[in-house]
Amino acid sequence: MLRRMGYAAIAVLVLGGFVVAETFRGTVTKIEDGSITVNVRKKGEEPTEKTFKTSKDTTYKFRKGRGKDAETEDSDAKKFKAAWEKNKKGTTVSVETDDDGKAKSITYGAGRGGKKGGKKKDD
């Protein structure tokens, strides 16, 4: 009995570490050396600005396409900043944080693309 309680306590501690890390989605408002500010949206709430610290260990990924089947390719901070400067109003990101609240990975995408409201043509 005591052994089971010990295993359960270990499992709770291990799984609890994953709960602290979060993923935030929103649009980028400012990029500075060592930090990124994102206008975070949550359903049913007003958007809030959050600033995340970045480091040389932060990974950047460019997302091609939309949906679950979208492919990602590795990127870097320079490409990310160039994409933001090109389209400041619409750069949507997903920021995954570690236990300390620092950005562990940043995934950004091409945004909305394609034809607006058009139906697919039958061949």
Q: pTM of the full predicted structure?
A: 0.65
Q: What is the SS3 assignment for 62?
A: strand
> pLDDT: is 15 or 116 the higher one?
15
Backbone angles phi, psi at 56, to 5 degrees: -70, -20
Structural domain boundaries of the chain?
21-109
71: Cβ contacts below 8 Å, ≥ 6 apart: 63, 64, 65
**pLDDT value of position 119:** 47
Kindly indicate whether the domain formed by 21-109 is annotated with CATH number 1.10.274.10. no
- Over the stretch 54-87, which tens digit does the pLDDT of each residue have? 988 888 888 877 766 677 777 888 888 888 888 7
Q: Quickly state the pLDDT bin for 16 (edges 50, 70, 90).
A: low
